[in-house]
Amino acid sequence: MGTVYLGRSPAGVLLAVKVIRADHAADPAFRARFRREAQAAAGLSGRWVVPVVAADPEAREPWLATPFVPGPSLSEAVGGYGPLPAGSVRTLGVRLAEALQQVHAAGLVHRDVKPGNILLAPDGPRLIDFGIARAVGATTLTAADAVVGTPGDLPPEQARAGARSPGPAGDVFSLGCVLVFAATGRGPFGGGHAAAVVFRTVHDEPVLDGLPAELREAVGACLAKDPAGRPLPQRLREVLGGGEPADGDGGDGGGDWLPPPLPRLIAERSTRALELPAPEPTRLDAPRTPPGAPGPGGGRLTRRRLLAVGGAVAAAAVPPAWLASRDRVRGGAGGPRGTAAGPVFTVALQADLSGPGRAEGQAHERGLRLAAEQHNARGGVPFRLAVRAADDGGDPARAAQVIAQLVADPSVVAVVGPTAQAAVPALAEACLAADLLLLPVSVHSGAAAQSHWRTVCDTRGKPEEISLPVLHYLSRVRPVSHTAVVEQEGAAETDRELTRMLRHTPPSQGTVSVHRIPAAAGGADLASVVDGILRAGAQAAVFAGTSAAVAGRFARALDGAGFAGPRMATGRVMAPTFLEAAGGAAEDWLFGAFFTEPSAVPAAAGFTAAHRAAYGEPPARWAAEAHDALGLAAAALAALGEEGRDRPGLSRRVFRTSYEGLAKPLAFDATTRTLAGLRVAHLYRVRSGAFAYLGPYADVTAAT
């Protein structure tokens, strides 16, 4: 909805200044909600809530200021350092229950208690962001059929569109979800598509696997479906033990309540904040100048200068990491390099260029370099682009070191990558802290991106959208009434997304049976799986596993049993290993994938020719998608004014930018900031022992 800046009052007090984007401020209903947030939070007091100390809801760009808390959010801490120990979780629950007591005593319901709205300070947690809080009994300012809150953390009564507004018990349910996440690293109702998470919240029991036994009773009570069955915050504090330490693990709000890495992180951030350079002096003739309003002489106060807020708060309107490098940027050597054709902005690639995934990393690099050359060759461009490649070798630990180097280079305005899924959290957190745009191409950042990592712009389809090619083919091209889905035991949560989607939305509105291959499957095990598929009367088989070798052996077993229906899998197993393991049984297998085949796309003919000329071979998988990622970044930079072509400007503008890529159109939903449109996935078929491109899945017909 806006940007939070680190500010400093005239007395030297550090503050967080939340400035709302002008397009939101133009909406009277949104401005009313913001006014309500400021009023609600200003009336709060208590150690574990962060109050509003100054605000101007009527400014052209409304703003509010709160005390600055240097600690990470709970989502950042768990994502970067893993779940908290039981004692820390217990202390977290006690302090947040106390915070909710204070909120509810003031006649308010928070309605968005989630990991991203909880900051971890040395003495205890802080509850922030009352953006959708409302007074109990107040008239709602949201649409009648809207669901307000964050899927995965909202209570079932709040999850139903058009339901009565939730009461204080809804905040207790959300707190239960938060405690499960803090202790296990995942929510009690799983991940995936928001609609699926909401469905499980309303209808399924919470999954508490991995939750310490000492927390199960209290957390389980919080997650009762019936609001009347949940404890009041005061009772919850008592059940959790009032915050007293248990066996030295955690604490009662003292400095040792967090595990070792987090106090060090908080100390480092505090030091960086205190070392910020003093803002440039700016004289204001008017007693009250809203952010962005004209300054003396008609000049605008930009985000690189001082923002004067109501005469009370002075905000250096750039993120801390960017502020720290301000002097280097101005010197020219570290910032965008000037040329006769204008400044040069760097798009960095972080990928595996020397390890097991080097082929994919090389495809990324080649696509980016060709896109930069294409951009720079155009006449009249206001800026030029450079590509900086950084090799992490496919090692998550090394990836964290590499991204630190890229963040420290102020000429880098965007990062493409990584190519290893395990490297995503470290990169996402580092880019978030630096307000640096991260563009994953071949991996997906996960559900956390939309709720926590606001600078991550996924250019690949969401994991659940891999079901779209399967649904299209088995509903429109070769309709079937019963589909067998085959999983591998021990698959990761994200690897089971295809199964979940097909069970919730069966092809042709028919039925789905799920069959599992043991983790160490041999020929006999596969034969029993195939026998189960035949006995179930399946007309189509979908392999939802991730092992190309197992998929190939499964194809042989199906073929040997005479199965003649459609056989499908995903791009995860679309590899030479599958063809070798399946032999002749691979023929006519279909694969849904997020990558295109540039040499088969007329619009990519120029790119394919340039790739052949530069590298002596056609572009590999993901090369076109990487090319499109840089094109999107260039389009977003071009849409910004010269003053706004920096990291903060680009990381926000990209979500309001549309770009017609070679692989697919790139445009984003204004609310969720996720990739919009249906042309996100493609279909391939094995023909004569090779993977043949059929086209975007929606274009495939029986005649294709």
Q: What is the reported pLDDT for 297?
A: 33
Residue 362 has pLDDT above 80, yes or no: yes
Instruction: Enumerate the H helices of 229-312 as residue ranges.
Output: 233-239, 261-274
Q: What is the reported pLDDT for 615?
A: 93
Same fold, 2-68+277-317 and 74-264: no
- Nearest CA-CA partner of 252 in 123, 69, 99: 123
Q: What is the reported pLDDT for 163?
A: 54
- Read off the amino acid at residue 202: V
**Range name among 263-277, 374-388, 571-585 with the lowest pLDDT average:** 263-277
**Range name among 87-96, 142-151, 255-264, 505-514 with the lowest pLDDT average:** 142-151
Q: What is the reported pLDDT for 400?
A: 87
Q: What is the pLDDT of residues 575-599, one digit of tens each?
A: 999 999 999 999 999 999 999 999 9
Q: What is the reported pLDDT for 61?
A: 84
Q: pLDDT band for position 8 (50/70/90)?
A: confident
Q: pLDDT band for position 363 (50/70/90)?
A: very high
Domain boundaries, the chain: 2-68+277-317, 74-264, 337-459+605-673, 464-593+683-699
Q: What is the reported pLDDT for 179?
A: 97
**661 neighbors 675 (Cβ within 8 angstroms):** no
Q: Which range among 90-104, 134-148, 316-330 has the greatest average pLDDT? A: 90-104
Mean of the per-residue pLDDT values of the chain: 82
Q: pLDDT band for position 147 (50/70/90)?
A: very low
Query: Could you tell me which residue, 310 or 76, shows the higher pLDDT?
Result: 76
> Domain spanning 74-264: which CATH class is it, in words?
mainly alpha
Q: What is the set of active-site residues?
A: 112
Architecture of the 2-68+277-317 domain? 2-Layer Sandwich (3.30)
Q: How many helices (H) and strands (E) does the chain have?
A: 24, 24
Residue 254 has pLDDT above 50, yes or no: no
Q: What is the pLDDT of residues 649-691, one digit of tens each?
A: 999 999 999 999 999 999 998 778 888 887 899 999 999 999 9
Provide the angle, in degrees to the nearest 10, between the axes of the packed helices 74-81 and 261-274.
120
What value does the CA radius of gyration of the chain take, rounded to a whole number of Å? 27
- Nearest CA-CA partner of 167 in 134, 199, 200: 134
Q: What is the pLDDT of residues 524-546, one digit of tens each?
A: 579 999 999 999 999 999 999 99
What is d(CA 327, CA 492) in angstroms, rounded to the nearest whole number?
45
Q: What is the pLDDT of residues 54-78, one digit of tens each?
A: 888 888 888 888 889 988 999 988 8
Q: Which two tokens stand for residue 616?
A: 């002596």
| Overall fold of domain 337-459+605-673 | Rossmann fold (3.40.50)
Q: pLDDT band for position 305 (50/70/90)?
A: very low
Indicate the CATH number for domain 464-593+683-699. Answer: 3.40.50.2300
Residue 148 has pLDDT above 60, yes or no: no
**Range name among 55-69, 261-275, 392-406 with the lowest pLDDT average:** 261-275
| Sign of the CA dihedral running 82, 83, 85, 87 | positive
Q: pLDDT band for position 344 (50/70/90)?
A: very high
How large a percentage of the chain has pLDDT more than 70? 82
Residue 418: asked if its preceding bond is cis (omega within 30°), the reply is yes
- Nearest CA-CA partner of 567 in 559, 579, 577: 559
